[in-house]
Amino acid sequence: MDAVDVSEHYEVTAADNSPSLLSIVLDTNPRAWAALDSSLSLAQAISNILVFVNAHLAFSNANQVAVIAAHVNRAVWLYPALQRPSSTTVKDNSGDVQMQDASAEAHLPPPSANKYPQFAQIESSVFSSIQTLMAETTVQDLDQLTTQLSGALTLALCRINKAAQALSSSDTTLSNAAPVNATAPPPVKGRIVVVSVSDSDPSQYIPTMNAVFAAAHNQVAIDTISLAGDSTFLQQACFNTNGIFLKAANPRGLLTYLMFGLIPDTEARASLITPTHDTVDFRTACFCHGKVVDTGYVCSVCLSIFCSPPDNAECLTCGTVLALGNYGAKPAVLPRKKKKKKKIANGSGREETGSATGTPRP
């Protein structure tokens, strides 16, 4: 009779095994990979990443994967491959280019009996796309030293968003009527893994951070494995989205870093202790010269950051004329007040930050 106890409710909830979508952003900067070639070549790295992709897909047959190359001048889909544009590019109503899960070209190679069919498809798609990409890279492109990271992050977020919408509801009318609750778990566990080999480009600070905040809002974690270079912004990206930042001291062990550090998805991380990094580089890039700065001048109206006071004390972004005050002047020493300090009446203890709300975080 214990079962008819008053307090206990028999909670019947669907088990949480929503699919998990992994987007891999691979930095394909040719210069950076050439510098790294002695320890880890690009081909080896891609093979390692493919094993990692297969491991992710092995978790469940609802899991999905996308691989995006962040190249010197653009971001390119490696998997799912974009359909080769024939004479006219296929566009649907919203102007999106139609994508196919590489099944269209599956008839080309005879599938091997020693490989899971899906793995073979991804492999052939990634390899052929990266060959096309490298063949299309011109000498002029190589003048660029940095990588189009923000574009690749945005593509990855679009993909996750699209998958989430496709899964959440077949009938959009109902979902539009229901209020969107920020605490409700997203239908897809999205995650972006960035394989970074080059420095962060200060000119991309704003688009990158926009992508990062969008990811944080959608509860998408950004993980980074940094093989070389100084990826300041990615450290912040991982910090803001509760992702993992790994600095690979030995790039040759890429597979071990991936399989050990980055295999747990957001669900498994609830019960695992994730690797942490104690120092996060929070420096930002200034808006005027694109320099990475520790301290700078901030416009009190639009929060733009400048490394030196702008000309005529006029904000370059919003045009507000700013009063500079006497910055750098010697502070005057005030005599201490005699009166005993009263307790602060509405003792919020909160510092004046100038804005009513904090930085939006989910």
Residues that bind other proteins (CB under 8 A): 1, 3-4, 9-15, 17-19, 51, 54-55, 58-62, 64, 98, 101, 110-120, 123, 162-163, 166-167, 169-170, 174-175, 178-179, 181, 183-185, 187, 255-256, 259-260, 263-264, 267-268, 270-273
**Do residues 317 and 302 touch, judged by C-beta distance below 8 A?**
yes
Place of tokens 């950076």: 32
Q: Which is nearer to other proteins, 68 or 315 (CB)?
A: 68
Q: What angle do CA 326, 327, 333 make, to 5 degrees?
A: 75
Q: Which is nearer to other proteins, 119 or 213 (CB)?
A: 119
Pairwise CA distance, residues 113 & 107, whole Å: 15
Q: Which is nearer to other proteins, 12 or 356 (CB)?
A: 12
Q: Calculate the alpha carbon distances from 215 to 13, 196, 277, 304 in Å.
A: 28, 18, 20, 22
Structure tokens at 200: 């962060």
Q: Which is nearer to other proteins, 19 or 309 (CB)?
A: 19
Pairwise CA distance, residues 336 & 238, whole Å: 45
Least distance (Å) between residue 15 CB and other proteins: 5
Structure tokens at 276: 């942490």
Q: Which is nearer to other proteins, 132 or 274 (CB)?
A: 274
**Do residues 20 and 63 touch, judged by C-beta distance below 8 A?**
yes
Least distance (Å) between residue 278 CB and other proteins: 18
Q: Which amino acid is at 83?
A: Q
Least distance (Å) between residue 240 CB and other proteins: 22
Q: Which is nearer to other proteins, 103 or 355 (CB)?
A: 103
**Do residues 26 and 76 touch, judged by C-beta distance below 8 A?**
no
Least distance (Å) between residue 256 CB and other proteins: 6
Least distance (Å) between residue 57 CB and other proteins: 9
Least distance (Å) between residue 159 CB and other proteins: 9
Pairwise CA distance, residues 241 & 197, whole Å: 21
Least distance (Å) between residue 223 CB and other proteins: 14
Question: Of the candidates 174, 179, 189, 171, which has an alpha carbon nearest to the alpha carbon of residue 64?
Answer: 189
Question: Of the candidates 89, 60, 90, 27, which has an alpha carbon nearest to the alpha carbon of residue 234?
Answer: 27
Q: Which is nearer to other proteins, 55 or 209 (CB)?
A: 55
**Do residues 251 and 225 touch, judged by C-beta distance below 8 A?**
no
